[in-house]
Structure 1
Amino acid sequence: MTITEVLQFVDRIVEKQTGEHLDDLHKTVIQGLWQGKTYNQIADESGYDKNYVGDVSRKLFKILSEQLNEDINKYNFCWTLERVINSQFVGLVNTKINWCPFHPQPDANPPINQEEKTTKKTRYQDLTLAPKITHFYDRTPQLQTLSHWITTQNPRLISILGLSGIGKTTLVKQFIDSNLQQFDLIIWKSIKLSPSLDNIITDIFTLINYEPIQTENKLTQLLNLLRQQRCLIILDDVQELFTSGQFAGQYKTETKNYKTFLSKITELEHQSTVILISQEQCQEMTCLDEELYPVKCLELPGLDDTEILKALGLKDEESWSKLIELYEGNPAYLKDIANLIKIIFFGKADEFVREETLHLTEDMKFRFNELFERLTPVEQQILLELSKFNQPTSREELRQSLSLSSTDLINGLLSLNQRYLLKKIEGEEILFNLSPIFREYVINYGYLASIML
């Protein structure tokens, strides 16, 4: 289906409710959404403010949702129109709608037996441990990347990585909410709550009411299921598989069967995907080349979007960018500090910024304490030394100021990088630095945390 036909369809829906046709901005927004563009990109091309483009889009979504009896938003816009037009509204346009950008082209003439198989197939879902999304801030590029990988490249193993609170879990749940129909089975497990792989496999087969599982070859049965059906398995809090006090990605004795499982996932042919959500990279990801193996890694940066602060009800919009810079665009940090500003500064962000104090809330300190307690003594020494420098520091400078062997220093830097606690600056030589907020923690609490371990 061409974009002209899409515009004609939406125009009819809008006219039915409002009595008015689409204007030029409406058309630009619809075309941009159909092409997978962000509000920022649409705003740049149209010359309008990004927030205004967002307001216009949300009004369109509201009209379409009411008229089509669907919950439509910018993340499921293409999918929903494609499904609705092909099922309920065939005849309003000349041709069937094509699948929208970042999604695979369906087979135009599937064999009859395949059609019957598709219509009869039962789908199973266990999302009881997945979070409910109340707000989803602009992660459009990452969401499109994840969608593109899964729908067109079928990677068997995907890691979603980044610091605590950065939005890893929310991103994956947002993808699932918009793509439930792609999978025969979706199961979400938290390693923090359910660390046993045997129990997870048992839960999967209990969910689908499969033949009784044989206790001696559970992993083989699971791998067979991944070949027979298209499954999506999400493992959250994967860092809990790894041992505290050792370099990143070292499995606990009782969780080493996950290493076998993840290795088999990448080696064997099947049609399913396992998503790992973690604050640490596992060795299965760091040692495999994405060009040669069906694995993908998505590292989440902080948000650079003031919408999150607007939604939290702060005043003084001119100070929001500074807040985002200070707190690295981490949604969890920004929510904490916004609540503090609302209580102590009556929501006036400008007054807080003028204090020129990088305040750590109790929740931030708790998160950093958890991270710091997982580190080796070598990593703690490196962080404490880095916190003394007011500028990015080279490996040679660190070596001269620390009583560490070259091997320990290199391994420590590598492990800290895999935990997303270092900032690397590449130039003639690689320099290392800490983010302002984590530096503040290390300076004020890091030493106390290290002597209490």
Structure 2
Amino acid sequence: MNVKEVLQFADELVFAQTGKHLDDIQETVIKGVWQGETYDKIAEQCNRSESHVRDIGYKLWQVFSEQLDEDINKRNFRSTFKRLHIQSSQNQKICHVNGSNHNFHFSPQILYNTNQDNQENITKSQSKSPYHDLTLAPKITHFYDRTLELQTLSHWLTTQNPRLISVLGLSGIGKTTLVKQFVDLNLPQFDVIIWKSIKLSNSLDTIITEIFTLINHEPVQTDNKLTQLFNLLRQQKCLIILDDVQELFTSGQFAGQYKTEYKDYKTFFTKMTEIEHQSSLILIGQEQCQEMLCLDEELYPVKCLELEGVDNTEILKNLKLKDEESWPTLINLYEGNPVYLKDIASLIRNIFMGKVSEFLKEDCLLLTEDIKFRLNELFDRLSLIEQQIVVELSKFNQPVSREDLRQALSLSSTDLINGLQSLSKRYLLKTIEGEKISFNLSPVFTEYVRTCCQD
């Protein structure tokens, strides 16, 4: 079996699964693995990062495994394809090599094992066709430095089956990108995948109606919609993603306080952990609510993944910046936030001709209008007590103890502690343990408060 036959066979498998043919990078990965090359070597050939090439390979093995009903990975890819090639030549009715061009023909609907019991299993699996609605999910063009977090998410969802997962962190930190990358790599693992954004579909009743209408092509019964949804979660392995969950919570109050009209979500999230089913719900948001917290993993199937900034210059490689030796300093200055870095990179290209070292000579943490807009939205969500705390903290260049904050603000112990906890739930506050426990803000948010919020 030569490389041309391998690529044709792989292309037919991918097309049967996705409706798309192999792209150039996928072909390079398949050729490289077939020839025994490492992911690092393949990455050099296609001018991509090793993690990106590894993700492409993982996704290909998932497709091949699903289509061929075998566990295929990088180690056994070559031997498995060779064995199937030999079996196909022995059974011309299933799949055959013909003509002088040695084209390898494959019908994805018919697998190689013609055992009657296996054929019955295939028929059953085909009768339950998967449904994936990702129309509201973003398209991922680049995925940087989240290998560990992706492995954690994959381990939870493929081996532990938690019913509720929250992916939390500041705006722009990469929460949605991480979850979408997992979904792209694991489509065959779920019978149903639904992606919704609270900003676009904020009513739980509307979301449930849309889910049943899209899957069953008929409206859901008007009574007991939540009960019908849990019946679906029991009958099929579903993955539901809700993005922008912070939109359910009230601005001007402590973090995680539901708006009156969205109290049904609180019931839904709680029931997800209490009722027996085989499905999972992922919540993506900028602030925690009580249902997102796992107090006892032995009793409650809840997981929480909190994202911090990236610490890898790979994120800047496609942003057309110069002075690569200065990139770590730039990343540290903007806390590894991908959105902040992309925005400031645009400014550096336009004003400093892409020279990072020239930008750093300004010796200040510059906030673009887009960064200010994001932080202004975040500041407006804070309660009055939280706003007082962050304004006071922004006046110092070092961490401040709880006692000093209380004296400066004349707040009661209860108000101050609740305010500090709420800021932590919004990922704005850092706690430093020393002789005294003290607190400070992130550098970017500190600069924003100093320049925009003193009034």
Aligned residue for 1:66?
none
**Residue pair 1:58, 1:73 contacting (<8 A) in 2 also:** no
1:215 to 216, 222, 243: 222
Aligned residue for 2:379?
372
Aligned residues: 387
In the TM superposition, residue 58 of structure 1 has moved relative to its aligned partner by: 5.3
2:88 pairs with 1:84:
no
Cα 1:60–1:152 change in 2 (3 A) is farther
Q: Which moved more, 1:362-371 or 1:115-124?
A: 115-124
Cα 1:82–1:381 change in 2 (3 A) is closer
Aligned residue for 1:163?
170
Q: Which moved more, 1:285-294 or 1:137-146?
A: 285-294
1:341-420 matches, within 5 Å, as: 341-420=348-427
Partner of 1:363, secondary structure, is helix
2-structure distance, mates of 1:411, 1:161 = 20
Cα 1:372–1:82 change in 2 (3 A) is closer
Which letter does structure 2 place at the counterpart of 1:358? Answer: L
Cα 1:114–1:417 change in 2 (3 A) is farther
In the TM superposition, residue 216 of structure 1 has moved relative to its aligned partner by: 1.8
Aligned residue for 1:318?
325
In the TM superposition, residue 133 of structure 1 has moved relative to its aligned partner by: 1.0
1:53-452 matches, within 5 Å, as: 53=40, 56-57=42-43, 59=45, 73-81=53-61, 83-84=63-64, 87=68, 92=81, 116-209=123-216, 212-286=219-293, 288-448=295-455
2-structure distance, mates of 1:372, 1:271 = 39
Q: Which moved more, 1:341-350 or 1:75-84?
A: 75-84
Partner of 2:223, secondary structure, is helix
Q: How big is the alpha-carbon RMSD for the aligned residues of Structure 1 and Structure 2?
A: 2.8
Q: Which runs of 5+ in 2 are unaligned?
A: 1-26, 69-76, 85-114
2-structure distance, mates of 1:261, 1:15 = 43
1-structure distance, mates of 2:315, 2:433 = 30
In the TM superposition, residue 213 of structure 1 has moved relative to its aligned partner by: 1.6
Partner of 1:186, secondary structure, is strand
2-structure distance, mates of 1:190, 1:14 = 35
In the TM superposition, residue 225 of structure 1 has moved relative to its aligned partner by: 0.5
TM normalised by structure 1 equals 0.79
**Residue pair 1:333, 1:364 contacting (<8 A) in 2 also:** yes
Q: Which runs of 5+ in 1 are unaligned?
A: 1-12, 31-52, 63-71, 96-108, 449-453
Aligned residue for 1:104?
none
Percentage identity across paired residues of the two chains: 67
In the TM superposition, residue 214 of structure 1 has moved relative to its aligned partner by: 1.6
Cα 1:61–1:442 change in 2 (3 A) is closer
Partner of 1:193, secondary structure, is coil
- Structure ID, larger Rg: 2
Which letter does structure 2 place at the counterpart of 1:224? Answer: N
TM normalised by structure 2 equals 0.79
Which letter does structure 2 place at the counterpart of 1:214? Answer: Q
Q: Deviations over 1:342-396 (max 9, x none)?
A: 0000000000001101100001100010000000100000001111111111212
Partner of 1:447, secondary structure, is coil
In the TM superposition, residue 171 of structure 1 has moved relative to its aligned partner by: 0.6
**Residue pair 1:422, 1:433 contacting (<8 A) in 2 also:** yes
Q: Deviations over 1:83-139 (max 9, x none)?
A: 5378397754579xxxxxxxxxxxxx9x86765432321111111111111211121
2-structure distance, mates of 1:269, 1:417 = 32
In the TM superposition, residue 60 of structure 1 has moved relative to its aligned partner by: 7.3
Q: Which moved more, 1:269-278 or 1:116-125?
A: 116-125
In the TM superposition, residue 14 of structure 1 has moved relative to its aligned partner by: 8.6
Q: Deviations over 1:185-214 (max 9, x none)?
A: 111111011100000000000111166422
Q: Which moved more, 1:244-253 or 1:122-131?
A: 122-131
Aligned residue for 1:7?
none
1-structure distance, mates of 2:211, 2:413 = 46
Cα 1:389–1:17 change in 2 (3 A) is closer
In the TM superposition, residue 429 of structure 1 has moved relative to its aligned partner by: 3.6
2-structure distance, mates of 1:76, 1:199 = 35
2-structure distance, mates of 1:15, 1:74 = 9
1-structure distance, mates of 2:166, 2:177 = 14
Q: Which moved more, 1:75-84 or 1:296-305?
A: 75-84
Which letter does structure 1 place at the counterpart of 2:397? Answer: N
Cα 1:294–1:210 change in 2 (3 A) is farther
Partner of 1:136, secondary structure, is coil
Partner of 2:378, secondary structure, is helix
**Residue pair 1:14, 1:21 contacting (<8 A) in 2 also:** no
1-structure distance, mates of 2:128, 2:235 = 12
